[in-house]
Structure 1
Amino acid sequence: MEKKSPHILNASSGLLGFCLVILTSLEITKVSDRTYIDEIAGIASFCLSISCLLSFMAIRSFKENYEKKYEKIADYLFITALLCISASVVLVTLNLF
């Protein structure tokens, strides 16, 4: 089975930057008080941060069972973050904030 940890780490770190841009732009435009988008993006940022950490730990792990465990949790957090980002994009696109 191919190791997914380097791919998760790369994608998570890139999407974490995207989430931080969303949070910063909402704060600058003073929209964050009227919407749940910043909370959703904050959850995504948290999931992506932990996903990055666990992916890195999986890469650096010497024990294969720890490596698999870290990678699996990082993968689930990454998917959760993708769903949160998708929800944020839908809310912004449809002006449902």
Structure 2
Amino acid sequence: MSNKTSQHILPTAANLLRFCLIVITSLHISSATNNSLLDEFASIVALLLCVSVISSFASIKTRTKIWIKRWEIIAELLFGLSILGIGLIVLVILKRFWLQ
């Protein structure tokens, strides 16, 4: 059984993890974290992406067909949740800049 999505999730999730870390860093540099939950939410999304990357890598490296499918499902679910979270982060940032 070949991995259909894990090979695509691994690099994409790693790039999105970079986006989350840039958001967290920029919020801390601008001192906008005093009254914001955005950096905590971005940290949670970054953690989901880290686990998605690990699961995707495990799916690629595992030899047992059952575990390949399990790791791939975990990677897909966490990646999907992360995409939703990143969408919410972008909407919050857009709202902040739009209303200023």
Sort the TM-score into its range (normalised by shorter chain): over 0.9
Secondary structure, in 3 states, of the residue corresponding to 1:79?
helix
In the other structure, the counterpart of 2:30 is 29
Structure of higher CA gyration radius:
2
Q: Judge conservation of contact 1:40–1:85 (CA < 8 Å) in 2.
A: no
Stretch of structure 1 that moved more, 32-41 or 73-82:
32-41
The 3 A distance-change label for structure 1 pair 2 and 49 is: closer
Q: Secondary structure at the match of 2:36?
A: coil
Identity %: 34
- Number of residues paired by the alignment? 96
**Counterpart of 2:68?**
67
Unaligned runs of 5+ in 2: none
Mapped contact 1:48–1:81 kept (Cα < 8 A): yes
Between the aligned partners of 1:52 and 1:32, the Cα distance in structure 2 is 27
TM-superposed deviation, 1:2:
5.9
After TM superposition, the score normalised by the length of structure 2 is 0.91
Amino acid at match of 1:64: K
Q: Distance in 1 between matches of 2:44 and 2:19?
A: 13
- The 1-side partners of 2:34 and 2:76 are apart by 31
Structure 1 runs not aligned, ≥5 long? none
Q: Structure 1: which 4+ aligned runs deviate by more than 3 Å? A: none
